[in-house]
């Protein structure tokens, strides 16, 4: 009785875990896109077939282990001539087993091949191109457009219109990273000096989490990105708002914040379109207040979190390339007022 309580707890915990996996923002088993759906189907097929084979093997093993010995039928000494019929039956069973195994492996290989062909066939239907450059430890995202002044940059966030395949061009600046949004697609590596490409499509609205899937250094675990799938009209509106330069600060504190931003260390790395800040080392901050998270998914966006991040980035994300900039309390407050207004 005493042993059952922890077991029951374990089972409930396991089921709760399942629930999170089946309806998760970062789960390959909760597909929200065509490719992830095919991959998940394939995964369930593999799981079912292999579990059945495993169960069969275990059952046969148990039967063999606990079967009573047939005494008397096997005389001690010269047994071989009488064993011939058993031997033949055993050979037949083993041949059938080998044929079955080969057939299962070939069938699964065929399914795997078909799914592979299918998930790579979306490329020619892509209507939108997003260029992602992975850096230690954040994602630079550029929305390309044939008209140059209609492309813009953002960071750690991709928005997609529902049902539209998006071509994602993948580059890396420093080391190898891997782009993985489990709800939408499998992984694709980003390799320095090489341009990779993948296509993602979201079939329903929602917010998903992408994560770097190739160990890339100290803050690899805190290198995430938000993928937000929205209806087409909403996406177009978002795109127009992102294209606009930053709003000018209206109140006195924000104006002071802008002045501090443009004269302190901030301006050495960041861009705010519409001002003289145009450095391309750190993330573009033109519309930072519209983003869901800060520091590549390390913190959810809020004014307080932004304050903590600016005041001491090395405590929140040690090793990140943003140094302590030594703003005084007043300077920090005014910079916060300015940045929080950048909708």
Binding site for another protein (CB under 8 A): 174-175, 263-265, 268-269, 279, 281, 312, 314, 321-329, 331
Q: Give 87 or 174: the residue with its C-beta nearer to another protein.
A: 174
Shortest reach from residue 264's CB to another protein, in Å: 6
Q: Is 180 exposed, middle or buried (0-12, 13-18, 19+ CB in 10 A)?
A: buried
CA gap 239, 143 in Å, rounded: 9
Q: Is 227 exposed, middle or buried (0-12, 13-18, 19+ CB in 10 A)?
A: buried
The closest of 164, 177, 165, 200 to 31, measured between CA atoms, is: 200
The closest of 226, 216, 215 to 298, measured between CA atoms, is: 226
Token pair recorded at residue 145:
């457009």
End-to-end C-alpha distance for the chain, whole angstroms: 59
CA gap 282, 271 in Å, rounded: 8
Shortest reach from residue 334's CB to another protein, in Å: 12
The closest of 268, 284, 296, 297 to 342, measured between CA atoms, is: 284
Q: Give 102 or 314: the residue with its C-beta nearer to another protein.
A: 314
Strand runs labelled E in the chain: 128-135, 138-143, 152-155, 157-161, 166-172, 177-180, 188-190, 196-200, 206-212, 224-230, 293-294, 299-300
Shortest reach from residue 153's CB to another protein, in Å: 18
Q: Give 40 or 269: the residue with its C-beta nearer to another protein.
A: 269
Shortest reach from residue 267's CB to another protein, in Å: 8
Shortest reach from residue 104's CB to another protein, in Å: 45
Q: Give 237 or 281: the residue with its C-beta nearer to another protein.
A: 281
Strand order in the sheet with 188-190: 157-161, 224-230, 206-212, 177-180, 188-190
φ, ψ of residue 78 to 5 degrees: the values are -90, 100
Helix ranges restricted to H, 23-79 = 34-66
SS3 64: helix
Strand runs labelled E in 68-183: 128-135, 138-143, 152-155, 157-161, 166-172, 177-180
Shortest reach from residue 341's CB to another protein, in Å: 23
Q: Give 272 or 327: the residue with its C-beta nearer to another protein.
A: 327
Q: Give 250 or 328: the residue with its C-beta nearer to another protein.
A: 328
Q: Give 33 or 282: the residue with its C-beta nearer to another protein.
A: 282
Shortest reach from residue 335's CB to another protein, in Å: 12
Taking residue 184's Cβ as centre, other Cβ atoms within 10 Å add up to 30
Shortest reach from residue 321's CB to another protein, in Å: 5
Q: Give 123 or 326: the residue with its C-beta nearer to another protein.
A: 326
Q: Give 175 or 307: the residue with its C-beta nearer to another protein.
A: 175
Shortest reach from residue 171's CB to another protein, in Å: 16
């Amino acid at each position: 009785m005493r042993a059952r309580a922890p077991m029951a707890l374990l089972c409930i915990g396991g089921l709760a875990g399942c629930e999170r996996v089946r309806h998760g923002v970062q789960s390959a088993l909760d597909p929200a896109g065509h490719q992830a759906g095919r991959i998940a189907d394939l995964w369930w097929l593999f799981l079912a077939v292999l579990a059945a084979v495993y169960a069969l093997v275990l059952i046969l093993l148990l039967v063999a282990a606990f079967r009573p010995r047939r005494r008397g039928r096997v005389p001690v000494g010269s047994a071989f001539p009488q064993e011939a019929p058993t031997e033949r039956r055993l050979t037949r069973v083993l041949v059938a087993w080998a044929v079955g195994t080969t057939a299962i492996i070939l069938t699964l290989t065929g399914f795997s091949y078909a799914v592979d062909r299918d998930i790579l066939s979306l490329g020619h239907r892509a209507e939108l191109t997003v260029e992602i450059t992975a850096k230690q430890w954040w994602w630079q995202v550029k929305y390309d457009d044939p008209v140059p002044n209609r492309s813009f940059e953002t960071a750690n966030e991709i928005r997609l219109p529902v049902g539209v395949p998006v071509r994602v061009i993948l580059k890396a600046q420093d080391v190898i990273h891997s782009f993985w949004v489990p709800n939408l697609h499998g992984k694709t590596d980003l390799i320095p000096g090489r341009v990779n490409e993948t296509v993602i499509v979201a079939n329903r609205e929602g917010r998903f989490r992408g994560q770097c899937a190739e160990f890339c250094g100290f803050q690899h675990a805190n290198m995430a990105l938000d993928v937000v799938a929205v209806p087409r009209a909403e996406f177009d509106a978002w795109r127009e708002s992102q294209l606009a330069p930053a709003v000018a600060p209206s109140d006195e504190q924000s104006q002071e914040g802008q002045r501090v931003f443009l004269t302190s260390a901030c301006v050495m790395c960041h861009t705010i379109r519409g001002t003289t800040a145009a450095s391309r080392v750190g993330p573009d901050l033109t519309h930072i207040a519209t983003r869901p998270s800060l520091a590549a998914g390390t913190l959810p966006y809020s004014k307080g979190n932004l304050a903590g991040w600016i005041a001491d980035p090395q405590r929140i994300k040690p090793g990140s390339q943003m140094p302590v900039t030594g703003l005084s309390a007043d300077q920090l407050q005014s910079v916060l007022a300015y940045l929080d207004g950048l909708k």
